[in-house]
Amino acid sequence: QGPLGEFPLGQQLAMSAQNFDPEWAKHLKHDPDRPLAVDVPVPQITWEQCFAPIRAGQNKGPVPVSHDEERHKLIKGQEHGQVSKAWISVTLKIASTGEEQVWPCMTSTTVLEVAEMLAWKLSIDPTDMKFVHRRGAMFRQLYPHEQVDRKMVVKGITSFTRLPQKYKDPKVIIGAGHLGLRMAMFLHERKQLDFVVFDRMGRVGGTSWMYQANTTSKLQTEYGAYHLAYGEDYPIPTFFTTPWPSRNALLHMFEKTVEEEGVMPYIRLNTNVKEMSVVSHDRSFTGPKALQVIRYDLVTEKMLEGRLKYGKLVAAKPGDEEAPEEEFKASCICMFPGNLTLPRQETYKGEDVFGGDIGYAMFNEINYHELEGLNVTIVGHGAFAVENIRTCCEFGVHQIYLVCRRRNLACPRVASWMANRTMNPLNNVRYMHVTEPMYKLIDLDPWTYHSVQTNEKRSVCQITQKARFGIGDIYFLTIYMGKCEVIVEPGGVKRVTKHCVHLDSGRKLECNAILKLLGLVGEMDNDRLMKVKELVGFWVNEDPRRYLVAEPLSVMCSQMGGTSFSPGAYSWSLQGLYFLDFPTDFHAGPLASGMLPRHKVDMSDEGTPRPAHVVDARHGTQTAMAVGMFTAGMAEVEANSGFVKAMRHRLCHPIRKFLAQAKEDWDYYAKKFLAEGFGVDKPYPTYPYNPQNVREFYQQHMVESSEPPLPCDGEDLAICDMP
């Protein structure tokens, strides 16, 4: 037995080794990554088996080219008789490279129709190509109206695949978090190895997990929708022991994945990008606007000890050692600064006499292990406030007061799981019905919350909430058992005195610590570095080679496509890379459409100005729509994204296994609270979800959205029916 009590010493050492603060680890009461529901059977079908039919469809070769008689009228001399609609194989050979492709065509297909199909695929003018065939010992150029020959030579192109734009200088990614690493993996997969990733941390994983998270922080969503090796060509992750891995397990996952995929040699840690300047052609440049910029000149500096506070770079003090600097030339810059960066700060009158911990409940700044058996006040009702309820429970805090100006919607684990496993989005009416069993447990009606707009029959629903959902069952369990009291106080905290919080209503809360979870704000320095005047979609100043993405804030939706990050990281990486490869498509497509949203610095809140790169959910949704509608090439790239999301999630979290894991975790905390004296005067809180009501919810969704069953569903449902 060691400092973690119930765990063997070897396991304790393994847990502590992943921890930045071993002092914290020795106070943990249990392993946050303990295996759950280990004896529950799971489907044996694999990702490769499920995706094989899709992959086979991707390798069918060129699209058949038929003849459109209505569009291509017969010319003089062709009026008599009917055109042949027999299918033939036409071999196209590129004159300059010798590359060949076999195209299925009708006998009557014209040269122009083949040229138009090639032109659409390669984004060129069909008149730029010439088609030649052989007649005896002679070669003859075919006219556009003529029928195709079985063998033709194509002049004017060098490949049947559209070639990406070539740059003299390497691409730069700033930020080695989830999104930056995913983009780096795409570049490595494509053998586009002229890139480098800069990050000011000493380890990959991103600011949110490196600094903002506490040692006990866990993933609120499920790992099936949050893992780095997410995509068509990766196996399902098997190294997690719970659907909700800890911060340390996630950081280990990031490191393990980039090492295995060969990306680590391209990452420069402990390096801050200090300055950026744009080098452009002068006004005499007549080329495409997307290529107006020649390069970006960067100045980087090595990070020295003490230069980061809360994950933010702080100015060097007089007498500090100067950080060594280097210059770097880049062809493109993709910056992913993260949104969970700086806590919104607020100071209460009397904090100097409070006599206990007051902080923002991040960065391990609160000594939770010293609060065992004491009362704590949490101010706020966002996602991290909900997460801190669980953290307080982990360390044996006695009574938790959650003070908020109004209640935000919280999301039960099953509702998050169901949204993430859908191929077609879960409409909000169905989502709200899924949350009802958990809200019924605490005698609240989620339909009456300020963020929910609905009609009298509750047949339509729009959710608009400034804060993201806090996801977790323990929020509902602690309220039911009386361990956590949610206090709606529109006036907020008025002042504090010795171990007491005074609310605006006059109520006093006796406590030994105050945790301020008031939201987070972005860094204005990111706007300054990227020279942002206006963010257009996710592109800086209409420049397709300056890409700046921070996960959009808030919840604004009429349907729920998911609650996690990997599907978004997958899509944002593909979109950013597409316009680096084909920058002219940006101006000709989404920008020309006028649909891309625009965002400038918001100075309406003088205390916490909102940078241009910090956008809301509506901005993100409108950007995705504009790119999808007006970029033909992206439709092909993201054709299988819905299937990938749903299939991978279902294989990671089968119905019976997931519900058993959720119930086991629920029962663990319920018994813990009973032992502490909470909820003893109430009936035992039975977990409100089971395979029967969950299957009913999902069957209703499939009918409403016309979602087809997926390859793993048969075996998954059969296991649910097992005794």
CATH number, domain of 95, equals 3.10.20.90
> pTM to 2 decimals?
0.91
275, 308: one domain: yes
- 515 inside domain: yes
Taking 80 as the threshold, does the pLDDT of residue 23 lie above it? no
pLDDT at 10: 38
**Pair (356, 404) in one structural domain:** yes
Q: Is 138 helix (H, G, I), strand (E, B) or coil?
A: strand
Structure confidence at residue 201 as a pLDDT band (50, 70, 90): confident
88 pLDDT higher than 80: yes
484-488: strand order across its sheet: 357-359, 513-516, 376-379, 400-404, 484-488
Tell me, what's the pLDDT at 76?
A: 66
Express as a percent the part of the chain with pLDDT over 90: 76
Write down the pLDDT at residue 188.
Answer: 98
How far is CA 167 from each of CA 195, 196, 255, 329, rounded to the nearest angstrom?
A: 11, 14, 30, 11
pLDDT at residue 611 greater than cutoff 90 = yes
Beta strands in 252-375 (DSSP E): 267-268, 271-280, 293-302, 308-309, 312-313, 325-330, 332-335, 342-343, 357-359
Q: Are residues 151 and 200 in the same domain?
A: no
Using alpha carbons only, what angle is made at residue 99 by residues 96 and 105, rounded to the nearest 5 degrees? Answer: 115
pLDDT at residue 116 tops 90: yes
Q: Do both 389 and 454 map to the same domain?
A: yes
Domain encompassing residue 150: 62-161
pLDDT at 6 over 50: no
- Label residue 314 by pLDDT band (50, 70, 90): low
The answer on pLDDT for 642 being more than 80 is yes
Q: Find out whether 184 and 199 touch, Cβ atoms under 8 Å.
A: no
Overall number of domains in the chain: 3
pLDDT of residue 12: 35
Report the run of H or E that residue 187 belongs to, with start and end.
helix 178-189
Predicted confidence at residue 345, as pLDDT, reads 86
Query: Distance (Å, rounded) from C-alpha 309 to C-alpha 168?
Result: 37
Residue whose C-alpha is closest to residue 401's, from 372, 380, 417: 380
In the predicted structure, residue 415 carries a pLDDT above the cut 70:
yes
How much is the pLDDT for 263? 98
**Residue-level pLDDT at 53:** 87
| 293-302 β-sheet, strand order | 271-280, 293-302, 325-330
Same structural domain for residues 281 and 422?
Answer: no
Determine the average pLDDT of the residues in 584-591.
96
Residue 5's pLDDT is 37
Q: Is the pLDDT of residue 149 over 90?
A: yes
> Do 125 and 185 touch, CB atoms closer than 8 A?
no
| Residues 157-178, mean pLDDT to the nearest whole number | 96
Lowest mean pLDDT of 52-66, 395-409, 560-574, name the range.
52-66
Query: Do 368 and 241 belong together in one domain?
Result: no
The per-residue pLDDT for 534 is: 98
Q: Are residues 229 and 245 part of one domain?
A: yes
Q: Is the pLDDT of residue 227 over 80?
A: yes
Is residue 497 located within the same domain as residue 414? yes
Proportion of the chain above pLDDT 70, given as a percent:
91
For 586, the token pair is 């940006």
352 within some domain: yes
108, 190: one domain: no
The mean of the pLDDT values for the chain is 91
Arithmetic mean of pLDDT, 363-386? 90
Residue 720 has pLDDT above 80, yes or no: yes
- Residue 340: what pLDDT? 64
Contact call for residues 304 and 515 (beta carbons, < 8 A): no
Say if residue 326 is in the same domain as residue 380: no
- pLDDT, tens digit, for every residue of 421-436? 999 999 999 999 999 9
Residue 706, in any domain of the structure = no
Residue 116's H or E segment, with its range, is helix 111-122
Does some domain include residue 694? no
Q: Quick check: 455 pLDDT over 60?
A: yes
370 and 511 together in one domain: yes
CATH of the domain at 471: 3.50.50.60
Specify the pLDDT at position 69: 76
* 65-83 tens-digit pLDDT: 888 877 766 666 666 667 8
Question: Does residue 47 fall inside a structural domain?
Answer: no
Question: Are 389 and 300 in the same domain?
Answer: no
